Structure 1
Amino acid sequence: MRILHTSDWHVGKVLKGRSRHDEHIRVLGQVVDIARAEQPDLIVVAGDLYDTAAPSPDATRLVTRALSALRRTGAQVVAIGGNHDNGQALDALRPWAEAAGIVLRGAVRDDPAELVVTGRTAGGEPWQLVTLPFLSQRYAIRAAEMYELTAAEASQTYADHIARLIARLSEGFDQPGVVNLVTAHLTIVGATAGGGEREAHCVMGYAVPATVFPANAHYVALGHLHRAQQVTGPCPVHYCGSPLAIDFGEEENVCSVAVVDVAADRAARVRHVPVTSARPLRTVRGTLEQLGTVQEPDAWLRVYVREAPRVGLREDVQELLPNALEVRIDPDMVPDRAGQRMAQRAGRSPRELFGDYLDSRDGAEDGVRELFDELYDEVSQSS
């Protein structure tokens, strides 16, 4: 069977105050075109369909239209919620999704059987897919409690709870002739962040080892990290990456979707198909004269100016480069005030430093210097 694996659309993203709605229309249109060309049996969207838990009507309309267009290619479509999504709001769309022939799993509910999706390709090949939407620390414990944990088990780590959930959900992976698949929105230990992820949900408390996935899984389709990559694990584990660079920290990423060919008796073969419809993000540096020679008419720019700070500098840069969304003074041009203060303080006694402080503040009460000296002498003698 063939799978198209995509993730981290972040529809509704605003970059430094600039809407990217038109870019998302082009990007998702290209993803649909890739699906038409590749003719996958199954399309997996591994979370973060939206950039915010309260998407605008335009963002909701774009996501539902994109999912519908993917379904019209003839593929079966499964999408899960990510940490940017409102899982309950996604689940509220399930009546629409089911009517459209789309499987939508926004959050983990009380019935874990809902998280295992089964199907057959047009050629009759059976597959089963474990779907694990993003779980916060608190909800990971609540989800694991469905399995009647002991007190000791309930106090284990986030990774322990995720491992227990996946193990329980994948118990049916021992059926012969079935393609076993997992999709989840997770940070895996050792994987490389793309640069624009929400840090609070990528720190080590949320990182799980790849060993949480069963060895008899034929392919694991991950979302959450925005850089396309394979992760070493007991089975094929892949991030497909985001189809557009979310922030300037991702400007070097190659935006793509993954196309996977896999069978019950054959190892997964993964190809990353580039998605090129978004405007590139670029960082440029230089003096005003140098910036005047920059030729990046189609890119969003982050600019580091090699000029002394002054009123009107930002406006001068944006006149030269209208696509400059972020303008900063190059760090090399900013004095190291901390270093200067350290140098000024070096070798000076506490009395001298406190005296300088009092001199800098007009109206210090009489006797404060003498009181400090008495306290300092008392502390020095006692130590």
Structure 2
Amino acid sequence: MKILHTSDWHVGKVLKGQSRIGEHRDALAQLVEVAKAESPDLVIVAGDLYDTAAPTPEATRLVTRALSALRNTGAQVVAIGGNHDNGPALDALRPWAEAAGIALRGSVRDNPAEHIIDGTTAGGEAWRLVALPFLSQRYAVRAVEMYELTAAEAVQTYADHVGRVLARLTEGFDSPDRVHLVTGHMTVVGARTGGGEREAHTVLNYAVPASVFPGGAHYVALGHLHRAQQVLGPCHVRYSGSPLPIDFGEEENRPSVSIVEVTTRTAARVREVPITAAAPLRTVRGTLAELARIDDSTAWLRVLVREAPRAGLREEVQELLPRALEIRIDPELLPNSGATRAAQRAGRSPRELFGDYLTSRGQADDGVRELFDELYEEASKP
């Protein structure tokens, strides 16, 4: 059977005040074109369909239309909730999804069978997919209790809980006549982060070893880390990565989807298909003269300016590079903050304190001090 594995769409993402909705529309349209060209039997969307738990109507329309378009290619479609998604809200869409022929699992339910999806390809090959949405620490404990496994001990780790849940859900993975699949949204120990994941959910307290996945699984389709990669484990464990760079920490990522071919008797073979529709993200640095020579009208830019801070510098850079979303002084030029003495607050005026701050940052422009005086005077008026 052939699988298209994608994840971490993050529709609704705003980067430094810049909406990415147009880029998401183009990237997902390209993803649908890949599905049409590849004709997969199954499309797996492994979480973080949205960037926020309260998506806008526009973001919701884009996601539902993309899922419908993927289903209209003839593939079975399964999507799960990630840590950025609102699981119960996704579950509220299940009547629509089921009517459209889409399996949508937003959060863990009290019936294990809810997370086991069986299907058959057009060629008659049987498959079973265990679909596990993102589990927080609190709900991992609750899931263990719901499935009537060994009582959770206070000292047990998040990885213990996730491992117990997966062991329960994959109990039927010993059939030799079926392709066995798992999809989840989690951090696996040994994987490389992609720069855009929330730290709270990628630290080791939320990481699981690859050993939580059964050796009988033919392919594990993961979401959460935005860098496409395979992780060493007892079976083929893989992150598809995001179809577009989410923030400037992901400049080196290559947005793609994974095309997987696997049978009951052969190991999974994976190809990465690039998704190029979204604008790349790029960090540039230099003096104004050096920045003026940069010709990049397609990328969103983070600019590190190698000039002394002064009033109006941001505007000068913005005029040179209209696609600059973040502009700041190159950290290499800033003095070591640990070597400066903190200003004493008692008995000192706001102007003096602000002057000390400017000095500590290497700022010597009198225009900035005068602007502060004007703003302070205005704010202090009764």
Q: Matches of 1:362 and 1:40 in 2, distance apart?
A: 72
| Structure with the bigger percentage of helix | 1
1:350 match: none
Q: Which moved more, 1:144-153 or 1:277-286?
A: 144-153
Letter paired with 2:295: Q
Task: Tell me the equivalent position of 1:376.
Answer: none
Indicate conservation of the 8 Å contact 2:110/2:147, yes or no: no
Query: 1:188 is matched with which residue?
Result: 188
Within-5 A mapping of 1:240-251: 240-251=240-251
Structure 1 CA distance, aligned partners of 2:26 and 2:84?
21
TM-score by length of 1: 0.89
Q: Indicate if the aligned counterparts of 2:149 and 2:164 stay in contact, CA closer than 8 A.
A: no
Take 2:310 and 2:16, find their aligned partners in 1: how far apart are those partners? 22
CA contact (8 A) 2:111 2:147 kept: no
Gaps of 5+ in 1: 343-355, 364-383
Partner in structure 1 of residue 265 of structure 2: 265
In structure 2, the residue matched to 1:323 is 323
CA deviation profile, 1:132-177 (whole Å, cap 9, x unmatched)? 0001000000011013345554641110010001010000111121
In 2, Cα distance between the equivalents of 1:337 and 1:167? 51
Seen in structure 2, the aligned counterparts of structure 1 residues 362 and 274 have a Cα distance that, compared at 3 Å, is closer
Contact 2:144 2:152 (C-alpha < 8 Å) held by counterparts = no
Which amino acid in the other structure matches residue 71 of structure 1? R
Q: Post-superposition shift, 1:339? A: 2.1
Q: Is the 8 A contact 1:259 1:273 kept in 2?
A: yes
| SS of 1:22 mapped into structure 2 | helix
RMSD: 1.5
2:220 is paired with a residue whose SS is strand
- Decide whether the 8 Å contact of 1:186 with 1:222 is kept in 2: yes
User: What is the alpha-carbon distance in structure 1 between the residues aligned to residue 122 and residue 145 of structure 2?
Assistant: 38
Kept in 2, the 8 Å contact 1:256–1:273? The answer is: yes
Residue-by-residue CA offset, 1:330-357 (whole Å, 9 max, x unaligned): 0122122422449xxxxxxxxxxxxx97
Asked if the contact 2:80/2:106 (under 8 Å) is kept, the reply is yes
Q: Which residue of 1 aligns with 2:101?
A: 101
Distance in structure 2 (CA, Å) of the matches to 1:120 and 1:151: 36
* Equivalent residue runs for 1:53-202 within 5 Å: 53-151=53-151, 153=153, 155-202=155-202
For 1:345, the equivalent position in structure 2 comes to none
Indicate the SS of the match to 2:40.
Answer: coil
- Structure 2: runs of 5+ lacking an equivalent: 349-382
The whole-number CA distance in structure 2 between the counterparts of 1:68 and 1:284 is: 39
What's the offset of the Cα at 1:243?
A: 0.3
Q: Give the 5 Å matches for 1:186-265.
A: 186-265=186-265
Q: Which has the larger radius of gyration?
A: 1
* Secondary structure, counterpart of 2:308 in structure 1: coil
Distance of aligned partners of 1:155 and 1:294 in 2 relative to their CA distance in 1, 3 Å threshold:
same
- Displacement of 1:218 after TM fit? 0.2
Q: 1:48 aligns to what?
A: 48
Distance in 2 of aligned mates of 1:71 and 1:58 = 20
Q: Which amino acid aligns with 1:20?
A: R
Q: TM-score, normalised by structure 2?
A: 0.89
Once the two structures are superposed, what CA deviation does each residue of 1:41-75 show, in whole Å capped at 9, x if it has no partner?
00000000000000000000000000000000000
State the SS of the aligned residue for 1:171.
coil
Q: Secondary structure of 1:285's partner?
A: strand
* 1:361-380 equivalences in 2 (<5 Å): none
Alpha-carbon distance in structure 2 between the residues aligned to 1:183 and 1:155: 27
Q: Are the counterparts in 2 of residues 141 and 154 from structure 1 also a CA contact under 8 Å? A: no
Amino acid at match of 1:121: T
Contact 2:180/2:217 (<8 A) preserved: yes
Q: Hey, what's the Cα distance between the residues in 2 that align with 1:234 and 1:260?
A: 17
Amino acid at match of 1:201: H
* Distance (Å, rounded) in 2 between the aligned partners of 1:362 and 1:88: 54
Other structure's SS at 2:284 match: strand
> What is the CA–CA distance in structure 2 between the aligned matches of 1:147 and 1:63, rounded to whole Å?
31
3-state SS of the aligned residue for 1:263?
Answer: coil
Provide the C-alpha distance between the structure 2 equivalents of 1:362 and 1:319, rounded to a whole number of angstroms.
42
The 1:300/1:82 distance shift into structure 2, 3 A limit, reads: same
- SS state at 1:33 partner: helix
Contact 1:3 1:40 in 2 (8 A): yes
Q: Secondary structure at the match of 1:259?
A: strand
CA contact (8 A) 1:7 1:47 kept: yes
- Call closer, same or farther: CA 1:130–1:152 in 2, change over 3 Å: closer
Q: Percent of aligned pairs with the same residue?
A: 71
- Distance in 1 of aligned mates of 2:37 and 2:80: 24
Are 2:21 and 1:21 equivalent residues in the alignment? yes
Aligned match of 1:351: none
